[in-house]
Structure 1
Amino acid sequence: MAVLKVIEVLANSDKGWEDAAKQAVEQASKSVKNIKSVYINEQSATVKDGKLDNYRVNVKITFEVK
């Protein structure tokens, strides 16, 4: 039986939501090992001059505890 733990991470990107999620996983993997999955919990963005400016994601990252 595996023991899994979930952490919540907030990340942002000026490129898009997918890039923000990718950065969240890359940053978390610096201190968390055995990441198994990511769940995009929430997406938002800021608007500047009528255009999307900064993309934000709230993700839940699941990893196995050994």
Structure 2
Amino acid sequence: MIHNRPGAIAEGWRKASYSGGEGRACVEVGEVGADRAIRDTQHRELGALAFGRSEWAALLVAAKQD
């Protein structure tokens, strides 16, 4: 299940490798417990979307097919 976590405190936020190089279309990836989360670099105050393991794996498969 995907959750919007406005107050999500993730560890080890890092810029996603598929983010644009100009800094305008960046997302960050972090860990929230056993979940993975993504957030908009320019709007961190809006929180993050957290994905369970199976959802995260499906997202990565879909992203690599694009």
TM-score, length-scaled by structure 1: 0.27
Larger radius of gyration: 1
Highest RCO, 1 vs 2 (Cα 8 Å, sep ≥ 6): 1
- The structure where strand makes up a greater share of residues is 1
